[in-house]
Amino acid sequence: MSAREFDIVIFGATGFTGQYVFEELTRISKAENLKFALAARSEKKLKSVIEQSKEYLQSIGETINADIPIIIADISDENSLLEMCKKTKVLLNCVGPYNLYGECVVKACLAAETHHLDVSAEEQFLEGMQLKYHEEAIQKGVYIIGACGFDSIPCDLGVSLVKKKFKGDLNSIETYLELNSGPQGETINTGTWNSVVNKITTRNKTKEIRKELNKTVFKKSPKFSHRLSKRPVVFKSDITNKWCVPFPGSDKTVTLRSQLFNYNYKNERPVQIQTYFVTSLFNLFFIILMGIMLFIFSRFKYGRKLLISYPHLFSFGKFKEGGPSRQEIKEASFTTVFWAEGWKDKLDVDKQHTELPNKNIKVILTAPDPAYITTSFCVVNAGIVCLKENEKMPGSGGVLTPAAAFEDTSLLERLQKSGMEFSIIEK
């Protein structure tokens, strides 16, 4: 990669998530000796965000550079995207929905030979980019790494941690995610809601992409002697002793692609995974009702327009324009339980165990607010590792999942220092 003006550029810094990513990068840029800039389509909004963040950071005892470089770039202007990408070694892309706005940024990064990281949870975009651009990224020595926020670094790298700690052959992992809020509760910005609506709309295309991906990138399909069964749609878990439903995020599909990558390219035994969301019986009613409305309304153009126009109504107040307050975010956190089963002894990768699994461990992850705090320190630290630890990443480039890209780097250690805590309970 040729010399660049900046180490990292945050694209979409005027968005709700982008502003938190900017504040996280500001906090650690001096210690990491980084040159960074902010990019968006509006100079006025960029300057406003810088002033807002400067005021907030100073109020909590942090300092911010007086003059932060800004770059004007617009999704609708390909040349502006290319010029932005030419100025930096790593781009942190915070502009979604990615199904609508992501591919043009990936193409600009490939043309400029700039590493690209995003915080998408949209499977069609994530898997579509791997199908279309994996080989080109390898040839150009560029890393395109998706799902680098709360979706899905905690789960993906959490599974990598469990594999390393298991000391045997790991067969399967179930994850149980529980969100915790403070007295004020917590809402989510409507940008996330728009991505959810778009994701549901494109689910059939995602299945087609996945079939092609398994023919081209992941040519070897693993076999399992002991299949991990899906739980019922609604069930009370014997692991958490709480009510659960399948988790609709990208954690499962992202982590499965990491396992397929390791099986195909590193000859490692893959792990089966199922992901679940923990909730109360009271909230379960609203979750099911919201899911039904999303499924029905997203099938029609006018229905999708209603969903996008009235997120507060259709989400029962969970999503709103302007997102949560700083106090709500400060008080929020999440817990993920990883329940792992396998065998005490290890066999060659292509050999199957004939007996039932005879070992299990539980790993509990706790971390701050998922949507903004955890997302910010995940993508920022991933960007820094991509910048500084290329030699520990696989091959010379490619379109990869977080664990496939960062499993052998210092990223997990960095995240633990930032606020992710893992407790291991061995049975």
The one-letter code for the residue type at 127 is: E
Q: Which of 74, 65, 9 is nearest to 37 (CA)?
A: 9
Q: What percent of the chain has pLDDT over 90?
A: 78
Task: Report the Cα 284 to chain-centroid distance in Å.
Answer: 24
The pLDDT, as a whole number, for residue 56 is 92
Mean pLDDT of the 247-263 span: 96
Pairing of strands 333-343, 169-180: antiparallel
Which sequence spans correspond to the domains of the chain? 6-149+376-407, 153-369+412-426
Residue with tokens 């004020």: 184
Task: Report the Cα 131 to chain-centroid distance in Å.
Answer: 18
Q: Which of 24, 108, 20, 27 is nearest to 65 (CA)?
A: 27
Residue-wise pLDDT tens digits, 93-126: 999 999 999 999 999 999 999 999 999 999 999 9
The pLDDT, as a whole number, for residue 65 is 76
The pLDDT, as a whole number, for residue 351 is 94
Contact 122, 149 (CB under 8 A): no
CA distance 372 to 349: 39
Would you report the helix, strand and coil content of the chain in percent, each value rounded to 5? Answer: 45, 20, 30
Mean pLDDT of the 42-59 span: 94
Contact 379, 92 (CB under 8 A): yes
The pLDDT, as a whole number, for residue 355 is 96
The pLDDT, as a whole number, for residue 427 is 63
Residue 1 — pLDDT band, cuts 50, 70, 90? low
The pLDDT, as a whole number, for residue 9 is 98
The pLDDT, as a whole number, for residue 19 is 97
Contact 76, 50 (CB under 8 A): no
3-class DSSP assignment, residue 307? helix
CA distance 236 to 242: 5
Residue-wise pLDDT tens digits, 205-250: 889 999 999 999 999 999 999 999 999 999 999 999 999 999 999 9
Instruction: Give the burial string for 233-248 (b: 16+ CB within 10 Å, else e).
Output: eeeebebbeebbbbbb
The pLDDT, as a whole number, for residue 388 is 97
The pLDDT, as a whole number, for residue 290 is 87
Pick the CATH number of 6-149+376-407 from 3.40.50.12780, 3.40.50.720, 3.40.50.300, 1.20.950.20: 3.40.50.720
Q: What is the DSSP letter of 249?
A: S
Q: What is the DSSP letter of 392?
A: G
CA distance 263 to 203: 26
Q: Which residue has the higher pLDDT, 196 or 378?
A: 378
Structure tokens at 310: 């009235």
The pLDDT, as a whole number, for residue 139 is 97
